[in-house]
Chain A
Amino acid sequence: MRVKRRIFLAAFLITAFMLLTILLLGNLMNLQRKEYVEDKMSIISDLNEIQTYTLMSDVYGNKLACLAFKKKLQEWDQTLWDLGLKLERYRVATEEFQKDPFYQEQKKKFNDNQVLYMSFLTKVNRDCELNVNIISFFYQNSEECKKCDDQSFVLTDIKRELEDEVSIFSYDMDLGLTNLDLLKEYYEIDQYPCVVINEQRFCGMQDKSFIIRKVCETNNLSVCTKYAIG
């Protein structure tokens, strides 16, 4: 048997078709990712509930509103955290050939929403004496801030371990958002990474035990006894 040229051509066409299918599948998955992100973003961007609770607090007093807050805060916190993780992972999965402006845009929205939720949570924390632990993490891209990825890893690990005992908000300072600049000024952040643990600022790389120790100084956590701290 002698192999005819058309077999080589057929193999080429089949391979090209396969590659095209994979590229299309990739595009389809990109769309699904974007859909997921947009869907979650619309949930956290819905400010009606926050406005309602704030109004209820003004009208009916803190006692009633605080009960409702407590229930809702946990749910918001989890949604925010999950979306933050997915945003980063989906961005990495998508950006094989070029940066997708969609994720940059969503990240801005996400950071804005984080500022909103953190401010609201801080207010509720004070008004209702909820003792929720709030950690804010300020970072830059890894090229400019070598330790920012390390710090992010530590905070992810803490969140996984402490779950709803701690609320962590991560702020990308490269986005140039006015809200973030205000926070930077307020907390007097002069270097990255920087973490603010229950209103106390600690700039430079902080390891897990240090952060947990600092949290335990203000509030009792399940891990405080586990690690015999505080």
Chain B
Amino acid sequence: MNLIYNIFVYTIWFLATYYVVLILLILLIGRDKLYEKARKSLGRKPWVSIIVPAYNEEAKISYTIESLKKVIYDKIEFIIVNDGSKDSTPETVRHAIGGDPRFIFIDRKQNKGKAASLNEGIARSKGEFVATIDADSVIEPRMISKVLPYFAEREVAAVTVAVRVKNPKTILHKIFELEYIIGLSLMLKVFSFFNGIFVTPGPFSIYRKSIMEKIGGFDEHNITEDMEIAYRIQKARYRIENCMSAKVYTIVPDTFRQICVQRKRWYSGAIYTLAKHRDMILNKKYGFFGYFMFFNYVLIFMGLFLFLYSTYLLAKNLLENLLYFQYTSFNFLNQLKYFELDYLMLGRTTILGIIAISFTILALLVGLYFTRTSASKRKMGVVGYPFLFFFYQWFWILSIISVVRGKKAKWR
């Protein structure tokens, strides 16, 4: 078993390091392109519709509406779809809209889900391009003029932007702020360099409506419709671009429990989406995307297995050690007193682990540098960032259990 375990550790180390090295290389080579504007211009001002699905958003939606009111773009309409909220969302929306004629409010009494709300919004929209924004997110005023030029290339079906955390206050917020900066901003840009974007984030993404209609809009049976649509765009051989200079600010749940609920939805949705589009995996027909997804999930599930098995070994070891102490009247002090630091006691596997941790920290610091984010102002987040690894494993375990039990998480 020891041999198999070690081979497994080496394999996963190689795959994970390869992934990080690849990202770092791409960043190094493409560092001038990260914030580069779209190469072509649309040369015209098309109509844009922004759809805001809302379910029980009375506390946050007014901020979203306020930010939409500040959007600097002439040919724009905002469609707010109330998805049968049980709170005072409709009243809050009406009050926040005031007399602004750019807003359309669809007040649906029945709850049908986020994807259905988005599809209804798309059906009612007149824009050549439709954007979706979560009802707890705010966008910057020049968002539309920043993202539209990417559509000058006919094969571009969607454009994602940099997703940032709005007002991070707690330590959890600060850790997840860094995750968003790296994962939902920088990585999306890097993935766009090899057409590997597999999610058009809910906080804000914009789509070419004609393509959305062609591929059938959002999947109303999927709990992560923003991921599922990205797979179908890739499947139809269109491209998803990323504009890193455009930012949307969204809210991270306050408690770990709430984050778990959110992530359970995201990750179990990811499993359902992968299962639905399994024909794309390692399929040449879909270009690099199929291989990238395979690599991604192999890494995730191998990582999870390694984590679980290592945790088991650690727990077993700890228990055994604890049992040893029963013979010495639980004299722990004796052990601590004779702790010896001898680098020759480190095996290769331990060295692999040390390098992996160093690489995670290096990747984070490089990522912050390329996103022009000050690490010194986010000390707490930087220190807590490595703990994300453990959080992820927990989220995946929850999600896998949820999928196995056939429980579908709701979008809110």
Residues of A within 8 A of B (CB): 1-3, 7-8, 10-12, 14-16, 18-19, 22-23, 25-26, 29, 32-33, 36, 89-90, 92-98, 149-150, 153-154, 157, 160-161, 205, 207-209
Contacts and interface: CB of A to CB of B under 8 A. Distances in A.
Residue of B13, B17, B355 ringed by the most chain A CB atoms within 10 A: B17
5 contacts: A7-B26, A29-B346, A89-B342, A93-B347, A94-B347
Given A1-B33, A93-B347, A11 B324 contact: no
B25 interface: yes
Given A32-B344, A161-B334, A11 B328 contact: no
Interface in B323-361: 323-324, 326-329, 331, 334-335, 337-338, 342-349, 351-352, 355
Contact of B351 (A7, A26, A90): A26
B17 A205 contact: no
Given A3-B194, A15-B21, A22-B352, 10 more contacts: A33-B344, A93-B344, A96-B347, A98-B3, A149-B320, A150-B324, A153-B328, A157-B331, A157-B335, A207-B326
B344 A36 contact: yes
A80 B38 CA distance: 72
Contacts of B342: 89
Interface residues of B, number: 41
Nearest to B191: A3
B323 A7 contact: no
A143 to B, nearest CB: 13
Given A1-B193, A161-B334, A153 B324 contact: yes
Contacts of A153: 324, 327-328
A207 B342 CA distance: 29
Interface in B3-45: 3, 6-7, 10, 13-14, 17-18, 21-22, 25-26, 29-30, 33
A19 B29 contact: no
Contacts of B345: 89-90, 93
Contacts of B320: 149
A26 B346 CA distance: 9
Contacts of B334: 157, 160-161
A170 B328 CA distance: 19
Contacts of B338: 160
Given A15-B17, A22-B348, A160-B337, A209 B26 contact: no
Contacts of A22: 348, 351-352, 355
Contacts of A149: 320, 324
A209 B330 CA distance: 12
Nearest to A206: B327
Contacts of A89: 342, 345
A29 B327 contact: no
- Which 7 pairs of residues, A with B, have the shortest CB-CB distance? A26-B348, A11-B22, A153-B324, A207-B327, A3-B194, A93-B347, A15-B18
Given A96-B347, A150-B324, A2 B25 contact: no
A96 B328 contact: no
B25 A208 contact: no
Contact of A97 (B6, B25, B331): B6
Contact of B327 (A7, A90, A94, A150): A150
Given A11-B21, A207-B328, A19 B10 contact: yes
A78 B202 CA distance: 66
A154 B355 contact: no
